[in-house]
Amino acid sequence: MIQRIRGTNDVLGDDAQAFAMLEATAKRIVERAGYSRIETPAFEATELFARGVGASTDIVQKEMYTIPEDGITLRPEGTAPVCRAYLEHGMHKLPQPVKLWYLSSFFRRERPQKGRYRQFWQIGAEVIGPPSAGSESPLRDAEVIEMLATLLNELGIEGWKLEINSVGSAGDRARYVAALREALAPVKHQMCEDNQRRAETNPLRVLDSKDPNDQEIINNLPKIADFLDAESTENFRQVLAALDACGVPYTVNPRLVRGLDYYTRTTFEFTHGGLGAQNALLGGGRYDGLSEALGGPKTPGIGFAMGEDRLILTLEAETAKQASLADAYVAPMGEGLNAPALELARELRRSGLRVELGDGSFRLKKSFEMGHKLARKIVLLGEDEQQSGILTVKDFASGEQVKVPRAELASRLKSI
């Protein structure tokens, strides 16, 4: 019996429903932010990726499906094709900047593993336009990142982390690459074969390496922040300030450089612990020199791509986590309320609810931490609640906190 080719996947049944839900949610989020749909061909001129992504990158050197005699390649990523379409179709005549999103299949000849296939689906978006349209603004970077945080939250993905960095201007990057080559020269022979090659062809990719034996060397390499000029430093400060203003949490990761040649200034990744060592959910960044690399005028841009297969795995993990949680965590606010809390837990369990019971010796913060690990909601039982018969209930998923009469508590816990 003929079976599917290794590194590919059939999408059917529950997976098909999950894909449809993910796609519908993404469409709603990006379109309310002003993005329009684009679909580029499944194959492009090989030169597009060699010039745009970078001839020395792993993608171009090792991972592309190419037909040499025809000079065409199955698309391994979406940014270069969208930028090519922007230039080819004269989109500079449209209101600027142009916001485009896509939902397409891509192809890379890499080692298949959980959540990574040789044919895979991505949702991505690009914001492209001339400098006069504000496309270089750090506010644009923060707007894209905030939209992605909103998308993950609306999908119900908890525990994501945003890592962000700046790789500076083309000049900053060139100085940094030269410093990396110099630092790697005396130690590269101690590294794995891939990193020895990258040290020569694309030193930035060494920083992405997950090889545990090379981490000590990598941690001692120069940091890109030390090579940013004043303009790039101020640009990054403004990106972070805008994220602070809209409440998006982040961690600055000086090793996050993303090895594709077109990246400049802001780069970012959203990660999730449920995916293991290869924990990236989605990533992106700014590519202010891509248009010029493809023969066009200066047209800065920023974009992102998220793998649907990896997002689905994360959603499945979140669903499994939610299924294992209790309906409520009863938290007595003081040791003198332990007995009344047990009485309340007994009452709720008799109504058919799964209930975890806290300890009155816990401080409020620890009660919330324990409750979040064990249950969907927390019920606070303090002196006021005990006397009034009105309980405080917080839903961890929505963040909503309400007051509920004790007589209605069981039914409200079942309905929230």
Q: Which residues pair with 390 in a beta bridge?
A: 405
H-only helix segments in 39-97: 46-49, 58, 79-88
Pair 102, 19 in one domain: yes
Pair 302, 278 in one domain: yes
Q: State how far the Cα of 104 lies from the Cα of 253, in Å rounded to an integer.
A: 29
Count of structural domains, the chain = 2
Which tens digits make up the pLDDT trace of 205-214? 888 777 888 8
Phi, psi (degrees; rounded to nearest 5) at 385: -65, -40
Which tens digits make up the pLDDT trace of 26-71? 999 999 999 999 999 999 999 999 888 877 677 888 889 999 999 9
Give me the CATH number covering residue 348.
3.40.50.800
Pair 143, 88 in one domain: yes
398 falls within a domain: yes
Selection from 90-94, 318-322, 335-339 with the highest mean pLDDT: 90-94
Last-in-domain residue among 304, 319, 334: 319
Residue identified by tokens 């525990």 is: 159
Pair 306, 409 in one domain: no
Distances (CA, A) of 75 to 54, 149, 261, 340: 14, 27, 16, 63
Q: Which residues pair with 282 in a beta bridge?
A: 270, 306
284 falls within a domain: yes
Q: From 184, 150, 177, 162, select the one nearest 266 (Cα to Cα).
A: 162
| DSSP single-letter state for residue 154 | H
Pair 32, 69 in one domain: yes
Q: State how far the Cα of 150 lies from the Cα of 155, in Å rounded to an integer.
A: 9
Which are the contacts of 165, defined by CB distance < 8 A and separation ≥ 6? 224, 252, 253, 254, 255, 256, 257, 266, 267, 268
224 falls within a domain: no
| DSSP single-letter state for residue 116 | B
Q: 119 is in which domain, residue-wise?
A: 13-169+229-319
pLDDT at 259 over 70: no
Pair 96, 44 in one domain: yes
Which pLDDT does position 391 carry in this prediction? 83
Give me the CATH number covering residue 282.
3.30.930.10
189 falls within a domain: no
Residue identified by tokens 């047990």 is: 342
pLDDT at 339 over 80: yes
Selection from 195-209, 242-256, 335-349 with the highest mean pLDDT: 242-256
Pair 44, 128 in one domain: yes
Which pLDDT does position 416 carry in this prediction? 57
Which tens digits make up the pLDDT trace of 346-385? 988 988 888 888 887 888 888 888 888 888 888 888 888 8
Which pLDDT does position 323 carry in this prediction? 66
Tokens of 203: 């030193």
112 falls within a domain: yes
Tell me the residue type at 117.
Y
Pair 246, 395 in one domain: no
Pair 304, 400 in one domain: no
Contact 326, 385 (CB under 8 A): no
Pair 281, 306 in one domain: yes
Last-in-domain residue among 261, 284, 319: 319
Which pLDDT does position 355 carry in this prediction? 85
61 falls within a domain: yes
Pair 309, 352 in one domain: no
Q: What is the pTM of this model?
A: 0.77
Query: pLDDT category, 320, cuts 50, 70, 90?
Result: low
198 falls within a domain: no
Pair 139, 238 in one domain: yes
Last-in-domain residue among 319, 344, 378: 319
